[in-house]
Each structure stands twice: as C-alpha cells, then as structure tokens.
Structure 1
Amino acid sequence: MCIIETQPVIETRRLTLRSPGAQDIPRIAALANDPEIARMTQRMPHPFGLGDAEAFVLHVAAQDPARAVAFVIEHEDLGPVGVIGLHESGDPAPETGYWIGREFWGRGFATEALEGALVWAGRKWKRRALMAGHFADNPASGRVLEKAGFLYTGEVRRPFSDARGATADKRMMVWLA
C-alpha cells in the first residue's frame, strides 16, 4: 500500500518546497501580481491580489494529495520565490507547472525546484511520467524543462490563458522516470 504524504516537504541544495500556508499569502500575491509572470501561465489571472493568493492557498489545502500537490518554492535566504505544482489533467500522465518571481529569474531556482519535484514525484508519488508545456513565446521555460530532462513531444496545443485573455501556442513536453 502506498502512503500519500498530505503535506510533503522537498529539500534541495538551496530550496525548500513546502505546502503554502496563510503566512505566504502576501508574498505570493506580491510576486504573482506581475503581468509577465501571469501571461506565461494558463490559469493565473492578472491582476493577482491578496484574494487570489488566499483562494490559491485554500485550493491547495483542499486538493486530494493522490491527484495534485502544490509547493511554495522557498529559498534559504530570500524566502518564497515562486510556486510549483503537479496535478492530474486529461493527459495519461500528470502535468507540472511553475513560476518564479521576476526578481529571481536567471538564478536556476526553477530548474532546481523542478528537479527536486521530479525526484519526489518518482519516489514518493510513484509517477513514472509527467507532462509539461510552455507557451511558444516563453523559450526560457522550455530550457528549464529541457535541463530537468523533459523532451518535446511535437504536440502544440492552444489553451486559453486567463491573463492574456486569449489562446496561445503551448509546446508540450514529457518526462519519463
């Protein structure tokens, strides 16, 4: 029988990935209220305020940990720098997504967090494959996914992005444990 962690914690070299809590709401709202972050996601609205951050934290707390998990990405010195999540979708494998606050771009935090989440997904969540995608106009996210071992599938989807208010090309990738 597989025991599912209800609030897993993942430690990497510089980061801790942990469940978001009420104490994180102001920081999540401040970091996420950036149009350049929101437009690179499907479901994040812009503007993103305290109410949105509170709704996110409550949504994560109510998730079935066997089907979805989300983490605040916390740097040992800088505090929360972003969010990463894994969730079952309509694909055969769960999907992962992440965002990092703009002031922390280019420091390798997304790659480090993703690599930690992948190890956890394989060992603790018992997943052998994960899906991910990035908007075609966000090649930096594609590089993060490639560094973590994701491969392009050749599929391009056109999901609606809440922040863009429009559909956009999303290049799909897969990771196999």
Structure 2
Amino acid sequence: MTARSIPHAFIQTARLLLRPTSAPDAERAFEIQSDWNVTRMLSNATYPPGRQDIESWFSSHGQEWVDGTAYRFAIEQAGRMIGVVDVDGISGVEGSLGYWLEKSAWGKAYAFEAAQALIGFVFHEAGLTRLESGHASDNPASGRVLTKLGFARIDTRELFSRSRRETIIQCCYMLEKECTHPSL
C-alpha cells in the first residue's frame, strides 16, 4: 500500500499526534507564523504572514497528498496544534523534510520526535528512499535535530529568505533510507 492511498494517515508518537493538515489549520498556522522568531527561520514564508497566502497554502495540501508531491502533518501536543512537519518537493523517490513549531515548543525535542515519525512514514509507507533538508546557518538547533535524525551535512548554499527579505546561508543535509536506524 502506498501513502497516496492513505489520505487520512495519523501517526501517534510517545507525546505527539501527527495528522494530515487541513484548511482549518490555517488560522493556527497564521498565529504561529505571526511570531518573528518562528518565521525568520522559514525561507519560503513571509513576515508578517499573509492570512490569505496561508489559507491558500493549506487548502492545497489535500491535493498534494493525492498527487504524491507532499505529505504535510499538523503536529499536535495535548490536543493543540503546535507546528507542522512535512516532506514536500517529492519527485520519484526523493523529497525534502521540513518542520516548524511555535516558540513555546522549542527545546522539548518535539521537532525530532515528529520528524523521526514522518521519516519512518515516508520511507516505509510512501516508498521514498532519500530526503534532503536544510536550515539557516544561524539556526544551529535545527542542525542538531537533523544530525540526530541521521542526516549528513553535505554543503552550504546561498538562498533567498522571503521572511528576512535577504540572502542567507543555508546548511544542506541528506539522508538515505539505507543509512537510517531500523526504528525509522
């Protein structure tokens, strides 16, 4: 069975529930991305966030799932959406891992827990075998999450950050399915 045939997949971890995002999540996402400390780390988001842009983005998630181009999950902790973890840009057996959480959820290993669960899903249910990811060079905490997940740093590149409205240095990482821990 492929992930394309599982449009309502839920993933339970020790502390979190990951569920496919839906249009109503846009309001909560708008609240989270209204925090400059969160949005400045997102290269494709704008600051201040545009409510219509976020609503439009969330309304496209179901079709992305059906098309197999992205799997986006709301991260819930104690029944509250605290962020998003996703794999997008899927082409063939490769995709790009991303995640963002509200500031009050930082430093609690939620990003690691959610990303680890999603990696297991895309490697075992969706048939992907390779993931890329990256973080702004001034966000070393995200680099530690990626390294702990088994990603290898492969390069740096210049990338235009829409939120910061400037070019930043992005640290780039890669993870191959055969290099992952069996729990992934």
Tell me the TM-score normalized by structure 2: 0.87
CA distance, structure 2, for counterparts of residue 102 and residue 162 of structure 1: 20
Number of equivalenced pairs: 175
Matches within 5 A, 1:1-177: 2=2, 4=4, 5-63=6-64, 64-75=66-77, 77=78, 79-88=80-89, 93-153=94-154, 155-177=155-177
- Where 2:73 maps in the other structure, the secondary structure is strand
The letter for the 2-side match of 1:10 is I
Task: Answer yes or no: is the 8 Å Cα contact 1:99–1:110 preserved in 2.
Answer: yes
Task: Answer yes or no: is the 8 Å Cα contact 1:69–1:86 preserved in 2.
Answer: yes
- Where 1:174 maps in the other structure, the secondary structure is strand
CA distance, structure 1, for counterparts of residue 93 and residue 124 of structure 2: 19
| Structure 2: gaps spanning 5 or more residues | 178-184
Task: Answer yes or no: is the 8 Å Cα contact 2:93–2:127 preserved in 1.
Answer: no
Percent of residue pairs bearing the same amino acid type: 29
Q: Give CA-to-partner distance per residue, 1:124-162, whole Å, 9 cap, x none.
A: 011111000111111010011111111111x11111111
The letter for the 2-side match of 1:159 is L
Corresponding residue for residue 181 of structure 2: none
The letter for the 1-side match of 2:21 is P
- Where 2:94 maps in the other structure, the secondary structure is coil
Tell me the TM-score normalized by structure 1: 0.90
- Where 1:87 maps in the other structure, the secondary structure is strand
CA distance, structure 2, for counterparts of residue 143 and residue 78 of structure 1: 27
Task: Answer yes or no: is the 8 Å Cα contact 1:86–1:96 preserved in 2.
Answer: yes
The letter for the 2-side match of 1:36 is N
CA distance, structure 2, for counterparts of residue 152 and residue 141 of structure 1: 12
Residue 92 of structure 1: CA displacement? 7.7
CA distance, structure 2, for counterparts of residue 54 and residue 62 of structure 1: 14
Label 1:172 to 1:14 Cα distance change in 2 as closer, same or farther (>3 A). same
